[in-house]
Amino acid sequence: MKPQVQIPKELLAQYDLLNTIHGGVAQTQIRAWQAEEGYHLVLAAPGIDLNKVRIEVLQQRFVIYLLMDALGGAMQMPYYLVNLPLLPVVDVERIEARVEDGHIHVFAPFNDWAKGNRKQIVLED
């Protein structure tokens, strides 16, 4: 039995719109790695104005996107550059992002849960 691949519906709508209206875009490049203190991500997006990029946490997902005009500006569609599940070990409140050398650099630090803290709970009489 073949494993089923699940592609987020947002990505399917995005690809359909881009190929139909805009004729496609340059491929983004993503490097991501795990370090002792958290996750690092570097994104290169040729031809995209990085000042228009939005970075958000939406319903347990980490997304980097921008809004692109469609249908002559009558509507806007999100163009997702990154759409990843957000793991519970990430401290959402301390995620940082910056633009450096034409790339977006994101650091998502681990929270205390990732450290494997252990606490003994004493029963009271």
The domains of the chain are located at: 9-110
DSSP 114: G
Sign of CA dihedral 50, 53, 56, 61: negative
Between CA 10 and CA 77 the distance in angstroms is 10
The top-scoring range by mean pLDDT among 4-8, 18-22, 95-99, 121-125 is 95-99
Q: Is domain 9-110 in CATH 2.60.40.790, yes or no? A: yes
pLDDT attached to residue 71: 77
pLDDT tens digit string along 12-61?
Answer: 666 666 665 555 556 788 999 999 999 999 999 888 888 889 999 988 89
Nearest to 92 by CA among 121, 125, 61: 61
Q: 21 by DSSP, 3-state: which?
A: helix
Task: Give the CA count within 13 Å in the CB-facing half-sphere of 107.
Answer: 9
Q: What is the pLDDT of residues 67-118, one digit of tens each?
A: 887 777 788 888 888 899 988 899 999 999 999 999 999 999 998 776 666 6
DSSP β-ladder status, 54-58 and 103-109: unpaired
**Looking at residue 26, what is its pLDDT?**
62
Distance of CA 84 to the CA centre of its chain: 5
The pair of structure tokens assigned to 61 is: 């997902």
Q: pTM (2 decimals)? A: 0.69
